[in-house]
Amino acid sequence: MSTIILSALYLIHLVGTVIWLGGLAMLVLVAWPALSAQPDSIEAEGPVHLLERRLRPYANISLIALLMTGMVQMGANPNYEGVLQFGNAWSVAMLAKHIVFAGMVLLSAIEQFALMPELDRALLLASRGDTSAAIRVRQIRGRLRLALVLMLALGLLVLLFTAVMTAL
């Protein structure tokens, strides 16, 4: 593979990583602590969730870019020995990276396709005066925050395994 094409793939991969992990870090470390100090109406979507909804399309595009460029990069690496071949430390680190990345994808799917729709339903009921829905909104927001924190932690593990692979 030409150096120009491989370099472009690395650039896309790095930009995708920055968008996904940087967005998670911004939500978890900056936005949530700063905005949670302000009163958050149970009947309305909180500012953190508005930011999360805005970030989500970029994160999803980044995820697709990471999958596509990562597979090509892996195949081009001289340490890659083939599918399910773990004859060197690089391959073991790559397997660990893929397992952790799969965990991030799973958490992202849970967040997008289970927690966010559940929050939307609870917010709708709360806006109609359902007091039990207000309690549910707080619980779902807590689960969303936990999912984002876990995704960020897994993202840091992905970076750790990438650092190990780079050092080998």
- Please report the pLDDT score of residue 157 as a whole number: 97
Comparing CA positions, the residue from 2, 158, 163, 168 lying closest to residue 80 is: 168
Residue 30's domain spans which residues?
Answer: 3-167
Would the pLDDT of 30 be above 80?
Answer: yes
- Please report the pLDDT score of residue 40 as a whole number: 55
What mean pLDDT, rounded, does the chain reach? 88
Would the pLDDT of 96 be above 80?
Answer: yes
Hey, what amino acid is at 36? S
49 or 110, which is more confident?
110
pTM of the model: 0.85
Give CA–CA dist 71/98, Å, rounded.
11
- Please report the pLDDT score of residue 39 as a whole number: 56
Please count the structural domains in the chain: 1
Structure tokens at 50: 């508005």
Would the pLDDT of 133 be above 60?
Answer: yes
Would the pLDDT of 65 be above 90?
Answer: yes
- Please report the pLDDT score of residue 127 as a whole number: 84
Q: Which span out of 38-52, 84-98, 124-138, 150-164 was modeled with the highest average pLDDT? A: 150-164
Hey, what amino acid is at 27? L
Region of residue 144 (phi > 0: left; psi between -120 and 50: alpha; otherwise: beta): alpha
